[in-house]
Amino acid sequence: MGQNLLAFLGGFMFLIVVYVFTILIYNTYFHPLAGFPGPKLWASTRFTYVFSIWSGYLARDVRQIHEQYGDFVRIAPDEISIASPEAWHDVYSNQTSREALPKSKLWHSPAPGRPKSILNALDPKDHQRFRRSIEPGLSEKALREQEDIMQTYVSSMIAKLEKTVSSKGGADVVDISSNAGCFVALLPWLELANEPSHSKECYALNLEMTRPDILSYIKIDDKGVNGLTLPEVQATSSIIIIAGSETTVSILSGITNYLVRNPAKLDLLTTDIRKAFASFEDIKLLKLRDLRYLNAVIQEGFRLCNPTPVGLPRIVPSNGVRIAGQYIPGNTFVNVHPLAISLSGKLFAKPDEFIPERWLDSALKDELSPFHDDHRGAVQVFSVGPRSCPGKHLALAEIRLMLSKLIWKFDLAVADTPRGKLHWNEQRVFSVVERQPFEILIKTREI
Ligand code: HEM
């Protein structure tokens, strides 16, 4: 009996080994994606990918794979990563002959029993209903009407910093990534609306307010046909708070990191901002939109400090598609890899350096400039197409306001502390870049 059981278990184990081995061999040599280049360890099993994402190094690892193997690489048995700027529109935008590639049900369906949010409204028509509901509150016009709210929060954060710095004799080391976290507070009504016990009252109260905010533009429809149901508003407002605050704070901390480590660029930006505004109160969104060096610094920040550098996976429909000239078989996961594009030496001169000048008109016009041929359209930090970021204008407004008010009031420099030595692009990445503490030295400006 004992021997029989042992023989059975041995045979069973043998079959499992043969099965796994057959799958690995099939994935590596006979799968429809077998012709795509890439490391065999990634092509044969999803484990390598999962281990990399779990350790926080997927964005960095896939960038290295692109450097070694080219623009189309196989990073899992059923996934191709693409590092070609043309792929942005081929993957994420609607085309004349087909819709933008869909998100997969496997990765993006709502958790069982949870209400749908904008991120997991997978059907394109249903997703449009979410977009139509939230876009009015995030338009440039709506944001101009909400400027007072933004000004109040940013100014109170600066006032808090001023108090701390003056209590330390005019200079102090501060953690920029936790201070900039005040953006969560920019969306107070959304936070309140998320409290199930308050939501109806809160929403009604909000509508009575004369001061508009993002939520007051959303049309509630209990049937979920011409607007959003209340649970959908709650689920979507959570997304807006997380998607809107983590990303913006991450970029701000990244830009500040590069600025203090490049003092010549910081000096240029400081002069630009202080010359443009005679007083702190004069700093207004409309004028900030036209500050050329400030905007070049932000664009360079987007290139180097993408908060979601792992990318946005989509699934190819069963009949296959062409992406950037390459045929991709059906049921393949595809992902445009933002980091491999924005740090590519083929697309940008001196790709690892912080050089805001590459975004100025002068670089574009001067054929002798080393940055004349940079592929500016290749950086798509907000993505493109029907699912691109609806908060783009809000994010830009917040970053411009925060950075310029900080630099108008304080002189910034590298902090000589362990947390001041953070190299932003060496942080790990999970769904977004991990937000490690980052300290800078700030001194009250002498006027
Ligand atoms: C620098 C800051 C930001 C960056 C880099 C960024 C980036 C992105 C990207 C790449 C997507 C596409 C996600 C996908 O296709 O799955 C996205 C979607 C989204 N973002 Fe942002 N975002 C930023 C700020 C904001 C802000 C301030 C808001 C708040 C209003 C916001 C709200 C959203 C929402 C609601 C979506 C989902 C859109 C949809 O599925 O249709 N984001 N964002």
Q: Is the dihedral of CA 335, 340, 346, 350 positive or negative?
A: positive
Q: How far is the CA of 121 from the centre of ligand 1 (A)?
A: 15
Q: Is 313 in the pocket of ligand 1 (CB under 6 A)?
A: no
Cβ neighbours of residue 319 closer than 8 Å, sequence gap 6 or more: 330
Q: Residues marked as binding for heme?
A: 389
117 falls in which pLDDT band (50, 70, 90)?
Answer: very high
Any alpha helices (H) in 261-305, and if so which ranges?
263-276, 285-288, 292-304
Q: Is 138 in the pocket of ligand 1 (CB under 6 A)?
A: yes
Q: How far is the CA of 45 from the centre of ligand 1 (A)?
A: 31
In this structure, the strands spanning 321-323 and 314-315 are unpaired
Q: How far is the CA of 117 from the centre of ligand 1 (A)?
A: 13
Q: Is 382 in the pocket of ligand 1 (CB under 6 A)?
A: yes
Measured distance CA(239)–CA(103) in Å, rounded = 17
User: Which one has a higher pLDDT value, 200 or 290?
Assistant: 290
Q: Can you spell out the DSSP letters for 195-245?
A: STTTHHHHHHHHHH-SS--TGGGPPB-TTSSSSB-HHHHHHHHHHHHHHHH
Q: Is 240 in the pocket of ligand 1 (CB under 6 A)?
A: yes
Q: How far is the CA of 35 from the centre of ligand 1 (A)?
A: 34
Query: What would the pLDDT profile of 401-425 be if each residue is shown by its tens digit?
Result: 999 999 999 999 999 999 999 999 8
Any alpha helices (H) in 26-101, and if so which ranges?
40-44, 47-55, 58-69, 87-92
Query: What would the pLDDT profile of 15-38 be if each residue is shown by its tens digit?
Result: 999 999 999 999 999 999 999 999
- Report CA 201 to chain centroid distance, whole Å: 33
**Residue nearest to ligand 1 atom 16, measured at CA:** 312
201 falls in which pLDDT band (50, 70, 90)?
Answer: very low
Q: Quick one: which H or E segment has residue 333?
A: strand 333-336
78-444 maps to CATH 1.10.630.10? yes
Q: Is 248 in the pocket of ligand 1 (CB under 6 A)?
A: yes
Q: How far is the CA of 56 from the centre of ligand 1 (A)?
A: 21
Q: Quick one: which H or E segment has residue 192?
A: helix 188-193
Which residue carries 């087909």 as its tokens?
98
Query: What would the pLDDT profile of 373-408 be if each residue is shown by its tens digit?
Result: 999 999 999 999 999 999 999 999 999 999 999 999
Of the ranges 49-63, 166-180, 416-430, the best mean pLDDT one: 49-63
The HSE-up count of residue 280 (CA atoms within 13 Å, CB side) is 18
Q: Is 301 in the pocket of ligand 1 (CB under 6 A)?
A: no
**Residue nearest to ligand 1 atom 1, measured at CA:** 248
User: Which of 99, 247, 402 should be mutated for ligand 1, with most atoms under 8 A from CB?
Assistant: 247
Q: Is 307 in the pocket of ligand 1 (CB under 6 A)?
A: yes
What is the identity of the amino acid at 90? Answer: D
Mean pLDDT, the chain, rounded, equals 90
Q: Of 210-219, 256-265, 300-309, where does mean pLDDT reach its minimum?
A: 210-219
212 falls in which pLDDT band (50, 70, 90)?
Answer: low
The HSE-up count of residue 74 (CA atoms within 13 Å, CB side) is 25
Ligand 1, atom nearest to 398 Cα: 27
Q: Can you spell out the DSSP letters for 246-271?
A: HHHHHHHHHHHHHHHT-HHHHHHHHH
How confident is the model at residue 181, as a pLDDT? Answer: 54
Ligand 1, atom nearest to 241 Cα: 29
Query: What would the pLDDT profile of 53-92 be if each residue is shown by its tens digit?
Result: 999 999 999 999 999 999 999 999 999 999 999 999 999 9
Q: Is 394 in the pocket of ligand 1 (CB under 6 A)?
A: yes
Grouping H, G, I as helix, E, B as strand and the rest as coil, residue 313 is: coil
Cβ neighbours of residue 383 closer than 8 Å, sequence gap 6 or more: 88, 92, 312, 389
Q: Where are the domains of the chain?
A: 78-444
Cβ neighbours of residue 219 closer than 8 Å, sequence gap 6 or more: 133, 226, 227, 228
Ligand 1, atom nearest to 103 Cα: 16
Q: How far is the CA of 126 from the centre of ligand 1 (A)?
A: 18
202 falls in which pLDDT band (50, 70, 90)?
Answer: very low
211 falls in which pLDDT band (50, 70, 90)?
Answer: low
ipTM of the complex as predicted: 0.99
Q: Is 308 in the pocket of ligand 1 (CB under 6 A)?
A: yes
Which residue carries 């699934």 as its tokens?
315
Q: How far is the CA of 212 from the centre of ligand 1 (A)?
A: 21
Structure tokens at 375: 């592929």
How confident is the model at residue 363, as a pLDDT? Answer: 96
Cβ neighbours of residue 268 closer than 8 Å, sequence gap 6 or more: 293, 356
